[in-house]
Amino acid sequence: MNTTVVKAYGSESPEADLKPLKINRREVTPTDVEIDILYCGVCHSDLHFAKNDWGMTQYPVVPGHEIVGKVTKIGQNVDNYKIGDLVAVGCLVDSCRTCNNCKNDLEQYCPEWVGTYGGFDKHLQTNTHGGYSETIVVDKDFVLKVPENLDLAGIAPVLCAGITTWSPLRHWNVGKDSKVAVVGLGGLGHMAIKLAHALGAHVTLFSRSTNKIEDAKSLGADQVVISTDDAQMQSVAGAFDVIIDTVPYVHDLNPYIGTLNTNGTLVVVGYLGPLDPMLVTVPMIMGRKSVAGSLIGGIAETQELLDFCGKHNITSDVEVINIQEINTAYERMLKSDVKYRFVIDMKSIKN
Ligand code: NAP
Ligand code: ZN
Ligand code: ZN
């Protein structure tokens, strides 16, 4: 298969900084769309992957799964996009299309789903490479339409931070009578607040940081509870129907279970791995409370969210950076020093 060499940024080992790399993009197949990447968001998962936090990274890795760009080429069977269209690509670029999950618009739970980076590209027989690059070639069924009225840099994080919080809000039927809490005010957390607020819910932020209170309120939170303050935690005992927990590292879930109402659910989206300390089952049994997990969202659901954002004028609060600043951005993200998502202006890769 013919390929084109394009500029990218990635890393070659867990210890290494990200640096300029060259990668191959496939020629468009009859069902492919080639996209010139304009903006790419910086997700904490990019950092986990670059540092091999999940023990599954194959190097070199080119992260980036919050992609917004312009169509530059289409295959002969592409009927849903034309050259010049503004489009987006999120965390998925392929799946089996025949399993029950695929048939039910839950491609993210397909056993053969292909991640935008770190997946297996059946065409090139190599790892997939993500959006920290000049271009990407993606099957038309995994390309999304971008609302025309929104800021392009601000849309990019909708593709992961947005859909990862939207999917559980929708699955657990959040609406105007719901009491929702969000743990952690970062990329996912700030989108969770905006989206839950737009769905009409009463929204609470749990944060470790007293200096995020005003920001949280301007994003749509009705109240902020400092999670390290026992009295404040006690004041919201039994309060919430749904909690979206976005914290990226191991932490104690037990104090949050106490803040769930009867039948309430704590949805873990941030941390992958064994819990420490263990969950105490007593309050779960005594109140029919659940702890659940949730992974990104399917293609149809992501398009639903993009359309919702267009209708309600919702974008992410972003700090736009050049690709050359990516290593500093990772260091700042580790310190929770970002308001509230870095987005790379991909023009900078041409420098
Ligand atoms: P982020 O921007 O770094 O935000 C994480 C927030 O969690 C921080 O702002 C901080 O908020 C809080 N936090 C950080 N370290 C903490 C600690 N040790 N203890 C308690 N709170 C802490 O990260 P993100 O991009 O939102 O991603 C969050 C996590 O979701 C990552 O692990 C990422 O890999 C994962 N993720 C999962 C999915 C999925 O499909 N399930 C999709 C995308 C991302 P405060 O300062 O307010 O406490
Ligand atoms: Zn992500
Ligand atoms: Zn499937």
Residue 109 has pLDDT above 90, yes or no: yes
**pLDDT tens across 292-345, in order?**
999 999 999 999 999 999 999 999 999 999 999 999 999 999 999 999 999 999
Tell me the pLDDT of the chain averaged across its residues. Answer: 97
Of 169, 188, 226, the residue with max ligand 1 atoms within 8 A of its CB, to mutate for a pocket test, comes to 188
**pLDDT tens across 212-246, in order?**
999 999 999 999 999 999 999 999 999 999 999 99
Instruction: Summarize the confidence of residues 70-86 as an average pLDDT.
Output: 98
Ligand 1 site residues, Cβ closer than 6 angstroms = 43-45, 48, 160-161, 164, 184-189, 207-209, 212, 246-249, 251, 269-270, 294-296, 333, 336
| pLDDT at res. 265 | 98
| pLDDT at res. 268 | 98
Q: Quote the ligand 1 centre to 3 CA distance (angstroms).
A: 36
Residue 119 has pLDDT above 90, yes or no: yes
CA distance 330 to 152: 22
Residue nearest to atom 27 of ligand 1 (CA): 44
| pLDDT at res. 62 | 98
CA distance 206 to 113: 33
Of 45, 253, 294, the residue with max ligand 1 atoms within 8 A of its CB, to mutate for a pocket test, comes to 45
Contact 329, 338 (CB under 8 A): yes
- Exposed/middle/buried for 255, CB within 10 Å: 0-12, 13-18, 19+? middle
Give the number of the atom of ligand 1 that is nearest the alpha carbon of residue 294. 41
Instruction: Summarize the confidence of residues 104-130 as an average pLDDT.
Output: 97
pTM above 0.85, yes or no: yes
Residue nearest to atom 25 of ligand 1 (CA): 44
Q: How confident is the model at residue 44 (pLDDT cuts 50, 70, 90)?
A: very high
| pLDDT at res. 172 | 98
Give the number of the atom of ligand 1 that is nearest the alpha carbon of residue 184. 11
| pLDDT at res. 209 | 87
DSSP strands (E only) in the chain: 3-10, 19-26, 32-42, 67-74, 86-89, 92-94, 114-115, 120-121, 126-127, 135-139, 144-145, 179-183, 202-207, 223-226, 240-245, 260-268, 290-293, 318-322, 341-345
Q: Both tokens of residue 292?
A: 């659940």
| pLDDT at res. 185 | 97
Q: Quote the ligand 3 centre to 300 CA distance (angstroms).
A: 14
Q: Quote the ligand 3 centre to 99 CA distance (angstroms).
A: 4
**pLDDT tens across 196-210, in order?**
999 999 999 999 989
Q: Quote the ligand 2 centre to 266 CA distance (angstroms).
A: 20
Give the type of residue at 104. Answer: N
**pLDDT tens across 24-35, in order?**
999 999 999 999
